[in-house]
Chains A and B, each alone.
Chain A
C-alpha cells in the first residue's frame, strides 16, 4: 500500500476510536504509533521476520515525541496563562469584572449574556489561554445566567465562545506559538490581535441582542442598577486594569526608552502581579493549592493532547501527507483569494477533530509557505503583492485568520476543548449540551472571519502604526 493510503486509513481509524469514546489524546497517540509500525513494516515488504524491527523503530520514534515536543519555551506560556486564570479567580478579580459588566451592560436585551461576553473580553486582556478563561467563567457567569432564567445550554455556549476571545486579545499563548512556528515578529502579531478580538466580541454581542429580540423567553435584560451601584462596581474590578497596564508597559514601553522584556516574560510578570493581588485578597494555602492542582490538571490535559496529536503528526510526516497536500495546493488553478478561502474552510473541517495547537503544528509548516508564496513571497512589497499587502503584513493577517480559525475549532464538535472544559466544570451539563448551546456562535464567527478576509485593514491598521 502507498504510504499516503496508509495515512488515510490510519486517520479513519483515529476518527472511529474518538467516536467510540476513547480519550482523544491516547487515541491520537495510538493511531500514530500504529501508523508508524505499519509504515516501517511496509518498508521491509511486510516480512514477518522484520516485524519486531518495525515495532522497535516505531516505538522508539514515537517514544521521543512526548519529551521532545513538550520541552519547549513556546509552550511554557500555556501553563503560566492557565495559572493566571485560576489565580485571578481566587483573587476575586473575575467575579468583580463580571459584576461590573453586569451593572453597566445587562440592561440591553439578552443583557446577562452580553455582559458575560464583555467580561470575558475584558478578562482576555489578562488571560492568554482560552480554556482557562472558559473554565473560570463557567463557575461565575453560568450560575448567574441560570438564576435569571437562561437556557442552561445557551448559557454554557456563551461562556465557551467568550473564552475564545482570550486568544485574540493580547496576551495570547497561541499567537506567540504562531509567531514562533512561522518566525515572525511576536510584538506586532499580539498588537494585531486586539481589534479583531474586540470586533469578535461586538459581533457576539450583536448576535445575542438579535436573538434576545426575536426569540421568546430567551432571557430577560437585567436593569435597575443605579449609577451609584455602577460606579461602586468599578474599584473592585480596577486591579484587572493594573495587570493589563503592567503587561502593556512591560512589552511596549511608551516612554521611548527600553522595554523591560519580551511578551513571554510579560505574561509571567502579569501572573506574578495577579498572584500578589490574590495574596492581598486573602488567598490561603488551601486555595493556592487548589489553584495549583487545577492548573496542573488543565495543563496536563492539554499537554497530553499535544504530544498525543504530535505522535500522530510524526506518523503523517513519515507517510508524507503534508508534502502531498502542499503539492496539491500549489498545483491548484484557482484565484489566490479562492485558494485562501479553501484553506480556511479546510481549517474549519480539520478543526473539528483537533485542538488548536495540534492543528497549527500540523498544518503551518506546509500551509504558511504556500500562503506567503500566493501573496508573492516573504519579501514582496504591498504594490507587487496578490493580496495588496507586504510579506510581513501578510504573515500577520494570515496569523490572525489562522488563530481565529483555531479558536473556532475550540467550540466545534466533536472535539472542542472549550466545550469540554465548560461541561467539566458544570456537572449538570453534558458535552453535547454545550455543543448545542454554542452553535449560534458559529454564525457570528463565520461573519467575523468573512469580514477579516474582506477587510484586512481591521487586522493590519494597528500593527502598521507600530
Chain B
C-alpha cells in the first residue's frame, strides 16, 4: 500500500513526527506500506481536510484554528490560558480529546480519523520598544495575534491586528505593530526575533492545535499488519517529535535570545492570574455556548481538558 501525505511548507520540527512515522511504518512492514510525503504539492494547508474527504490523499496535517467551523470540537485546545505547561502535557491532553466520541464524530464528517497531535509550545509575544513590566503595559499595544489569543489580549486593552505571517516582520520593523504572538520556531523563521527587544517567557497565552489525520476508508482498507504498524508507530513518532523540538529547536532559541540581547519578561503569578481571570473565563464561556449550539457536548469537552490540566499540576 502506498499512501500520499499532504503537509505544507518545508520539512521542519513541526513535521518530524510524520517523517518518523513514514520511516517506522515502512521498516515494520518491510517496505509493503509506504507514506509518500508531499510538502504543499497536493493541497493548500487550509484545505487538507477537504482532500481527506474527497479521498485525494490518505493522510494530512492541519491546524484547527485555520477553519474553526470545519472542526469546532478540537478548537477547545486553542482556548486562551488553558495552562498547559509542556509539550508532553499538550500531547496527552490532545490524545484524550481526540479519543472522545463527539470529537471523533466531528472529524468523521470529513471521513477523517485523528491519528496524532503536533504539540506546539505556547505562543508567547516577542516585541519591540519599551519592555512591558506588567500586564497593564499591554494597554494600547498593537500586536499580531489571531483567534482566541488575539481576543484574550484584546481583553486587557491590547490592539490585535491581523495580517499574513509573512508581513509580520515588515509590520514590526516599521512600527505598524509592536509585538507578535508565535511559537518560538515561527519567531525564528518569520524573523520577528531579529529586532525584538523583549519576549514574554511565562505569559503562555495558548497555542494552536494541529492534528495529523487519516482517511477512514483508507485506514480500514489496510491489512491488519499494516494497520498495526501504523497504530504501533504513533507513540514512537511523537516521542521523537518532542525530543526533536526540545533538543533542536529550543536549543537554538535560548542562545538566540541571549545573542540578540532580548529581555525575557516574566510576570508575577498574581498578574498572570488576573489576566486569566479577565480573558480565559469569558473566552471559555463563549466557546461553550457557541459549541452547544452546534450540538457538541461543549461543557464536557472543556471539563475534560481543564480537568487534565489541573491533574497535571
Contact = CB atoms under 8 A, between A and B. Distances in A.
Interface of A: 40, 53, 57, 60-61, 64, 68-69, 73-74, 179-180, 183-187, 251-253, 257-264, 314, 316-318, 320, 322-323, 365, 369
Given A68-B46, A365-B40, A262 B170 contact: yes
Given A68-B46, A317-B42, A180 B176 contact: no
A422 B39 CA distance: 38
B157 interface: no
Given A57-B54, A68-B46, A262 B163 contact: yes
Interface string B162-205: 01111101110111100000000000011100000000000000
Contacts of A40: 56
A70 B166 CA distance: 18
Contacts of B44: 64, 68-69
B38 A317 contact: yes
B41 A318 contact: yes
A185 B170 contact: yes
B154 interface: no
Contacts of B46: 68
Contacts of A316: 41
B51 interface: yes
A6 to B, nearest CB: 15
Contact of B174 (A179, A183, A259, A369): A259
A69 B40 CA distance: 13
Interface residues of B, number: 32
A262 B40 contact: no
18 contacts: A53-B55, A64-B44, A64-B50, A73-B164, A179-B166, A180-B164, A185-B170, A185-B173, A186-B166, A186-B167, A186-B170, A187-B173, A187-B174, A252-B174, A259-B176, A264-B167, A314-B41, A318-B4
A389 B176 CA distance: 29
Contacts of B191: 185
Contacts of B54: 57, 60-61
Q: Which 10 A-B pairs have the closest CB atoms?
A: A317-B41, A258-B175, A259-B174, A60-B54, A61-B56, A187-B170, A180-B166, A186-B170, A68-B44, A183-B166
Interface of A is mostly: helix
Contacts of A251: 174
A262 B176 contact: yes
Contacts of A57: 54-56
Contacts of B175: 253, 257-259
Interface string B31-47: 00000101111111011
Contact of A322 (B41, B165, B167): B41
B171 A262 contact: yes
Nearest to B51: A61
B174 A253 contact: yes
Given A61-B56, A317-B42, A323-B41, A185 B176 contact: no
Nearest to B142: A258
B39 A365 contact: yes
A186 B165 CA distance: 12
Contacts of B55: 53, 57
Nearest to B11: A369
A311 to B, nearest CB: 13
Nearest to A250: B174
A108 B62 CA distance: 60
A379 to B, nearest CB: 9
Contacts of A369: 10
Contacts of B167: 180, 186, 262, 264
Contacts of A183: 165-166, 189-190
A261 B170 CA distance: 9
Given A185-B169, A322-B41, A365-B40, 9 more contacts: A53-B55, A61-B54, A64-B50, A68-B46, A184-B166, A262-B174, A316-B41, A317-B42, A365-B39
B185 to A, nearest CB: 13
A268 to B, nearest CB: 14
Contacts of A74: 164
Contacts of A320: 36, 38, 41
B246 to A, nearest CB: 20
B11 to A, nearest CB: 9
Contacts of A253: 174-175
Contacts of A260: 176
Contacts of B38: 317, 320, 323
A66 to B, nearest CB: 12
A60 B111 CA distance: 15
B170 A318 contact: no
B60 to A, nearest CB: 13
A57 B50 CA distance: 11
A40 B42 CA distance: 13
A372 to B, nearest CB: 10
Contacts of B36: 320
